[in-house]
Amino acid sequence: MDDQNQCCSSDRSTPRTDKIKSNLVSRLNRVEGQIRGIRGMVEKDVYCDDILNQIAAVQSALNAVGKILLEGHMKSCVMERIQQGDSEVIDELLKTMNKLMK
């Protein structure tokens, strides 16, 4: 692997395929729209249960984005760093997973 295609280079960036990036951006755009919709619901005094259901939908959508990113991270960045003998990546991954599971 050359430095340009390396997953977790020293600048801590992760190149993604155009397909994955497009999928993630599309999902995040949807979430952004849902958030704007929730704000509008609050401004219009919509019934609490309806707003809470929309919040649950946003949380689910964000979880889906997180799962996609986590899978890619584990299959590339984490594997690569373990193969390079960097076991600290496991502690980093555990901290991140604990944050995601709150």
pLDDT in tens, the chain (102 residues): 333 344 554 567 888 899 999 999 999 999 999 999 999 999 999 999 999 999 999 999 999 999 999 999 999 999 999 999 999 999 999 999 999 988
Q: In the CATH scheme, what is the homologous superfamily, with its name and number, of domain 15-100?
A: Metal-sensitive repressor, helix protomer (1.20.58.1000)
User: What are the residue boundaries of the structural domains of the chain, listed by start?
Assistant: 15-100
Tell me the helices (H) and strands (E) count for the chain, helix number first.
Answer: 4, 0
**So what's the pLDDT on residue 7?**
57
pTM of the model: 0.82
* Region of 45 on the Ramachandran plot (φ > 0 left; ψ -120 to 50 alpha; else beta): left
